[in-house]
Amino acid sequence: MHTMWKGALSFGLVNVPVRMFAATESHDVSFRYLHQVCQTPIQYTRTCPTCDKAVDWDEIVRGYEYEPNRFVVFTDEEYKALSRSRAQTIDIESFVELSEIDPIYFDKTYYLAPETSGKKAYQLLQAAMTESGKIAVARTVIRSRETLACVRVGQGVLVLETLFWPDEVRQTRELPNIDATVSAEEKELSMAVTLINQLATHFDPAAYVDTGREETLARIRQKVEENQISTPAEPAAAKANIVDLMAALQESIRRTQPDPSTAKSKPRPAKRAAKKTS
């Protein structure tokens, strides 16, 4: 696994040297957009619609759109000043019950592994959290952004879950028809509970398969086996370069050839006089 972050997990006066690794990865089947005519992948460029030209990175600045089409512009120096410096610690602020945190707050999951020098402290914290049944609420900085997180024990290791800030969770009052009062009949409620109990089981992640992805991959393999594949046509720019090179070579040859008209006009060298013999 690739180390995403290296620092220390801090609680009280105890620092546990750890490394952070992404706990999940996407297996989505991604498709690229191709030009139907020549099967070439489409390229996307940074363009300015006002200047009608491609824009280099050194011509780009950041701007916050506080009103439609009105921006507050920040230079690179100003933007860097706003960014949090990269933290070297995950600072535990408190311990709470896992049931107190609504799953809606969970964002991304990372594994925390101990450095060689921190194995004992890592195992101590892990054992103490397991025995207490508590999880830790912490703060850290990931990619220059201050992040709220929780640390828990999972799959035999310490797991860090980044959390959404409270103002990032939308309120349910924004949903339609939530104030409508509809009461369920006792018989309907009893049947619904019976159905739930019949379907109740223990969660086994291995029992669930992404059938949509499997079907897509199977269709891709079938197309490959049937040789239903395409190769992009040669880029137009490359063809132009070849034509230009051929033209340049031909012109070079033409220029190095002697001019026939010039060759005819050249005076012939004078004949030497014959030597007299005695």
Residue 266 predicted with pLDDT over 60: no
Q: Are 136 and 94 contacting, i.e. CB atoms less than 8 angstroms apart?
A: yes
| Residue bearing the bigger pLDDT, 123 or 239 | 123
| Residue bearing the bigger pLDDT, 237 or 231 | 231
Report how far residue 255's alpha carbon sits from residue 253's, in angstroms, rounded to the nearest whole number: 5
Residue 278 predicted with pLDDT over 70: no
Q: Where are the domains of the chain?
A: 5-26+83-167
Please write the tens of the pLDDT for every residue from 207-235. 888 888 899 889 889 988 888 888 887 76
Please write the tens of the pLDDT for every residue from 49-74. 999 899 999 999 999 999 999 999 99
Residue 259 predicted with pLDDT over 70: no
Identify the sign of the CA torsion 80, 145, 168, 92.
Answer: negative
- How high is the mean pLDDT of the chain? 85
> What is the CATH number that goes with domain 5-26+83-167?
2.40.290.10
Residue 272 predicted with pLDDT over 90: no
Quote the pLDDT of residue 244: 65
Q: At 169, is the secondary structure helix, strand, or coil?
A: coil
Identify the sign of the CA torsion 22, 27, 28, 32.
Answer: positive
Dihedral angle over CA of 32, 35, 38, 40, nearest 10: -40
Quote the pLDDT of residue 277: 45
Comparing 76-80, 107-111, 119-123, 196-200, the range with the smallest average pLDDT is 76-80
Quote the pLDDT of residue 245: 62
| Residue bearing the bigger pLDDT, 128 or 84 | 128
Comparing 40-49, 154-163, 187-196, 247-256, the range with the smallest average pLDDT is 247-256
Please write the tens of the pLDDT for every residue from 116-133. 988 999 999 999 999 999
Report how far residue 112's alpha carbon sits from residue 90's, in angstroms, rounded to the nearest whole number: 11
